[in-house]
A and B are shown apart, each in its own frame.
Chain A
Amino acid sequence: MILEIDNLVKHFPVGGGFPFGGSKGEVKAVDGVSFGIGAGETFALVGESGCGKTTIAKLILLLEKPTAGRIVFDGTDLTNLNSRQVKEYRRNAQAVFQDPYSSLNPRMKIRDILAEPIRAHQTMGRKDLERRLDEVLEIVGLPERAKRNYPHEFSGGQRQRIAVARALTLNPKFIVLDEPISALDVSIRAQILNLLEDIQKELGLTYLIIAHDLALVEHVSTTVGVMYLGNLVEIGPTAQVFDDPQHPYTQALLAAVPRPDPKHGLSEQLATGEIASALNPPSGCKFHPRCPHVMDVCSQTYPELRRIGESRAAGCHLLEEQSA
C-alpha cells in the first residue's frame, strides 16, 4: 500500500462566527472513512455532490487538517509532519485539478508555470531545468516552443496537458486527479484520458481519481470506493462492483447513468428524493430515506462495512440478513 487512510474524519463547524457565539453545528463532510491504495493502482472515489470525495482529496494533499484519523503515505504518518517533511511529501504527491482555466496563472508563461515546482523544491542549473521542462512537455505531447507562451494561447485540452506536465516535473509517485476531464470538450476528453493512462504505464504512477462520471470511472480505475454523505458505502475492484453492486445506493447510481444506446431504454430511478444535508444527516444508515429496500433497523443503527468475498466490502443491513 502506498497510501493508507484509517478512520478519517473531517467536520467543519458552521455558523456562530468569530468572536462571539459558539458554533451552530458541524458539517460532517467525512465521517470515518478507511481505505488503502496499492502502488500502481488507480483508485476512484465516486458519489454525488456533497458526499465528501473532494474533502478527502484535500485532506490527502494536506490542504485541510483532519479532525481525527490517520493518513499514511509510504510508511510516513502525514498527520504530524513538520514543514520540511511536508515539502518532501509534496514532491511525491501532486495534483491535477478540474478546470485548467483557473488552475494555471494567466500572468505566468508556461516555462514559469512548469519551473515553479522545481524552483520550490531544489536548485537546478539553467540547462538542466530547460531539459527537464522539454522532457515533461514531450511526455504530454506539447512542442518545446510552448514554454514561451501564456495559458490563454492554448485550448482547454492543451491547458490540461500543461497542468499534467506541471504535476510531473518533480517525478512524483502519486497524483490526485480531481475531475480531470469534466471541464473539457467531449471530443477532447478521450485524448487526455488516454494520455493519463499512457503516463501511468510509462512512469509507474499511482492515481487517486475523483469523478462523478461512472462510465469514466469504470474505464480507468482498478478499485472503486462509493461514498454517500461522508461515508464509504461500498468498496472493491471496479469490475466486480460495477457488474454486481451490493449496496442499494451503488445500484441506484449505476441504474441512473444514461447509456448512449437508445435500445437500452430509459435509465431507471431506484432512489427517490435527494441527498440529505450533511449538517443534519439521517440517523442510522444515511441512505435509508431514499432506499427502496428500507427496513426498521436502517433508521436505528449504522451498518458497518462488511466484507464480501476476498476484496470487497459494503455497508448495508440487507447483507447482514443474508449471511445470518
Chain B
Amino acid sequence: MNADPQAKVGQPVLKVDDLRTHIFLKRGTVQAVDGVSFHVNAGETLGLVGESGSGKSMTSLSILRLIPKPGARTVSGRIEIDGINVLDLDEDTMVRDVRGKLVSMISQDPMTSLNPVFSIGDQVGAAFRFHDLVRGRSAIRDAVVNVLQRVRIPSPERRLDDFPHQYSGGMRQRVVAAMAIACSPKLMIADEPTSNLDVTIQVQIIRLLREIQKETGVGLIFITHDMGVAANICDRVAVMYAGRIVEIGDVETIFDNPSHPYTQGLLDSIPHLGRRRERLYSIPGNPPDMQNPPSGCRFAARCPHVMDRCRSEYPPEATVAPGHMAACWLVGKNE
C-alpha cells in the first residue's frame, strides 16, 4: 500500500498517444482503434463512451495488451503506464509486473469473470499468491478478508469459502472489484461494470467504485454506453465514434456544452427522466462500416451540419477551451 495516496493525485498514471489497433481479416482490415490519444490522472475517472463497435473496448484491451491474437495488432502508438511504455514489454513482464499489479480490470459480467469451481477466498487470494505480496495460508486469508471488507461484503470471514453461485449478482461484482484492488494498482479499467445489473444495484456499485477511488487514489477508466452512468461517475469524458475520439472534456462541458455534432445528437436522442419531450431527436443513418471507413470525417454521412470539406478531410483535433477538444471542422470556424 502506498503511504500517502493523496500525494499522487493529479499526476498522469496513463498516457496513450496516437494508438492504432487494427484487426486483419481475410476480407480486409478493420481499423478498430485509429489514432486515439488521451491521459488519465491519478484519482480521476475518465469515461470512454460510445456505441458498440466504436473501439472503446479495443482501446482498453490494447492498454492491457490483451487484444485477440492472431488477427488484431497494435500497429503504432505509445501506451505509458506510470512512466513505462507497455508496448515495449514482453509477455512475461506483462504477466508478472503489469496485469493485476499496475493495471487491473473489472469486466461486464461477473458470472463469467469468476471461476465457478473455485471458492471466492481462493480466487481473491490468487492475486496475493501470484504476485507474492503475502505469504502463508493464514496471512493470505487475512488479506482476503480485509479486501472483501473494503468492498463492503458483509461478514466476509463466513462467506470466504462460498462459491460464486452462492453470491448474488451485485455481490459477485463486488468480489471482482476486490480482486481488482487487491494489489493496489495505479490504474483500473472498468468495462461496462454495471450494464448487467439492475438500477438499484447499479447505484450501489457506482458508489462503491467512487469510494474505493477516494481511498486509494487509483486512476479509473470507465467504459459505458449509458450517458446517465457516465454523468454520475466520470470527471472527464471521451466520446468515441468509429475508432476515434471525437470529443474529450470535463464532464460538465461534455453534457452542458458539447461541441461535436455527434455528442450533441447523442445527448438529444436519449430520454431524460423528469424532462418530458414530445419527440426525441434521432440521428439518421447507421454507424459506418469499419472495413471501409469514409475518407474525411466518419460522422459526415449522419451529420446535420455537414460541409464539403467534411467528406474529404478528417478534421484535426481542435481546442475549444483548455482541456476541451473536439475533432470537427465547425470548431475551428467559430474562432
B51, B169, B171, B276: the one contacting A185 at CB < 8 Å is B51
B112 interfacial by beta-carbon distance below 8 Å:
no
Bound Cα distance from A259 to B283, whole angstroms: 21
* Min CB gap B294→A, angstroms: 16
Q: Max chain B CB contacts within 10 Å: which of A158, A187, A252?
A: A187
B273 interfacial by beta-carbon distance below 8 Å:
yes
* Min CB gap A294→B, angstroms: 16
Bound Cα distance from A76 to B20, whole angstroms: 62
Which A residue sits closest to B207, measured CB to CB?
A: A269
Instruction: Give the B-binding residues of A (Cβ under 8 A).
Output: 48-49, 155, 157-158, 185-191, 193-194, 197, 212-216, 218-219, 239, 242, 252-264, 266-269, 271, 274-275, 290
Q: Return chain B residues, CB-CB under 8 Å to A264.
A: 231
A157, A187, A212, A215: the one contacting B273 at CB < 8 Å is A215
Bound Cα distance from A260 to B226, whole angstroms: 8
| CB<8 Å pairs between A and B, sample of 23 | A48-B199, A158-B286, A185-B52, A185-B287, A186-B51, A186-B266, A186-B270, A187-B262, A187-B266, A187-B302, A189-B269, A190-B281, A191-B283, A197-B279, A219-B280, A257-B199, A260-B228, A260-B270, A266-B206, A267-B206, A269-B204, A274-B169, A275-B198
- B200 and A218 within 8 A (CB): no
Known contacts: A256-B202, A262-B255. The answer to whether A218 contacts B271 by CB under 8 A is yes
- Going nearest first, the 8 A-B pairs with the smallest beta carbon separation are A258-B228, A48-B198, A190-B282, A219-B271, A190-B269, A185-B51, A260-B227, A215-B271
- A258 and B169 within 8 A (CB): no
The 8 A CB mask of B274-316 against A (1 = contact, 0 = none) is: 1011011111101100000000000000100000000000000
Q: Return chain A residues, CB-CB under 8 Å to B15.
A: none
Q: Return chain A residues, CB-CB under 8 Å to B171.
A: 274
Q: Return chain B residues, CB-CB under 8 Å to A213.
A: 271
- B252 and A263 within 8 A (CB): yes
Given contacts A187-B283, A193-B280, A255-B203, 4 further A-B contacts (CB under 8 A): A155-B286, A259-B231, A260-B255, A262-B252
Known contacts: A48-B199, A190-B282, A269-B204. The answer to whether A242 contacts B274 by CB under 8 A is yes
* Min CB gap A35→B, angstroms: 22
Q: Return chain A residues, CB-CB under 8 Å to B99.
A: none
- B271 and A261 within 8 A (CB): no
* Min CB gap B45→A, angstroms: 12
* Min CB gap A141→B, angstroms: 11
B267 interfacial by beta-carbon distance below 8 Å:
yes
Q: Count residues on chain B whose CB falls below 8 Å from chain A CBs.
A: 50
Instruction: Give the A-binding residues of B (Cβ under 8 A).
Output: 51-53, 168-171, 198-204, 206-207, 210, 225-232, 251-252, 255-256, 262, 265-267, 269-274, 276-277, 279-284, 286-287, 302
Bound Cα distance from A261 to B226, whole angstroms: 12
Bound Cα distance from A298 to B223, whole angstroms: 40
- A187 and B200 within 8 A (CB): no
* Min CB gap A37→B, angstroms: 21
Bound Cα distance from A256 to B267, whole angstroms: 20
Which A residue sits closest to B269, measured CB to CB?
A: A190
A186, A259, A290: the one contacting B272 at CB < 8 Å is A259
Which A residue sits closest to B168, measured CB to CB?
A: A274
Bound Cα distance from A190 to B255, whole angstroms: 18
- A259 and B273 within 8 A (CB): yes
Known contacts: A212-B199, A268-B203. The answer to whether A262 contacts B280 by CB under 8 A is no
Bound Cα distance from A186 to B224, whole angstroms: 11
